[in-house]
Structure 1
Amino acid sequence: MKRVQALVIGALAWSAGAATAAGCGPGALGTERTITLKREGALYGAQQHTALPLEQGEVVLTFDDGPSVRNTPLVLKALADQCAKATFFMEGRHLRESPDLARRVVGEGHSAGIHSDTHPHMMALSAAQQLDDLKLSRAAYRTVFGVDTPAYRFPFLEETPTLLEALRSADITVASIDLGINDWIPEDTTEVLAQRLRASLDKAGRGIILMHDANGPTAKAMPTLLEVLKEKGYKVVHLEWEK
Structure 2
Amino acid sequence: MKVLALILAALAGTASAAGCGPDKLNTSRTLTLKREGALYGTNQHAALPLAKGEVVLTFDDGPSPENTPLVLKALSDQCAKATFFMIGQQIAQNTELAKRVVREGHSAGIHSDTHPHLATLTVEQQLEDLKRSRAAYKEVFGIETPAYRFPFLEETPTLLAALKEANITVASIDLAINDWIPEDTTAILAERLKNSLDKAGSGIILMHDANGPTAKALPTLLQVLKDKGYKVVHLEWE
Tell me, yes or no, whether TM beats 0.5: yes
| Corresponding residue of 1:62 | 58
- Counterparts of 1:178 and 1:238 in 2: how far apart (Å)? 15
Question: CA RMSD of the aligned region, Å?
Answer: 1.8
TM-superposed deviation, 1:26: 1.7
Q: CA separation of 1:171/1:51 partners in 2, compared to 1, >3 Å: closer, same or farther?
A: same
| Corresponding residue of 1:217 | 213
- Counterparts of 1:186 and 1:81 in 2: how far apart (Å)? 25
| Corresponding residue of 1:89 | 85
Q: Do residues 142 (structure 1) and 138 (structure 2) align?
A: yes
- Counterparts of 1:34 and 1:95 in 2: how far apart (Å)? 25
Unmatched runs of 5 consecutive residues or more in structure 2: 1-7
| Corresponding residue of 2:103 | 107
- Counterparts of 2:131 and 2:12 in 1: how far apart (Å)? 33
TM-superposed deviation, 1:24: 2.4
- Counterparts of 1:47 and 1:24 in 2: how far apart (Å)? 32
Q: Do residues 199 (structure 1) and 199 (structure 2) align?
A: no
Q: CA separation of 1:92/1:98 partners in 2, compared to 1, >3 Å: closer, same or farther?
A: same
How many residues end up aligned between the 2 structures?
Answer: 231
| Corresponding residue of 2:73 | 77
- Counterparts of 2:189 and 2:14 in 1: how far apart (Å)? 29
Secondary structure of 2:235's counterpart equals strand
Unmatched runs of 5 consecutive residues or more in structure 1: 1-11
- Counterparts of 1:235 and 1:33 in 2: how far apart (Å)? 8
Question: What is the one-letter code of the residue matched to 1:217?
Answer: P
| Within-5 A mapping of 1:24-63 | 24-63=20-59
Question: What is the one-letter code of the residue matched to 1:225?
Answer: L
TM-superposed deviation, 1:19: 5.1
Q: Which of 190, 195, 204 pairs up with 2:186?
A: 190
Secondary structure of 1:105's counterpart equals helix
Q: CA separation of 1:95/1:169 partners in 2, compared to 1, >3 Å: closer, same or farther?
A: same
- Counterparts of 1:191 and 1:79 in 2: how far apart (Å)? 19
Q: CA separation of 1:19/1:214 partners in 2, compared to 1, >3 Å: closer, same or farther?
A: farther
What TM-score do you get using the length of structure 1 for normalisation? 0.92
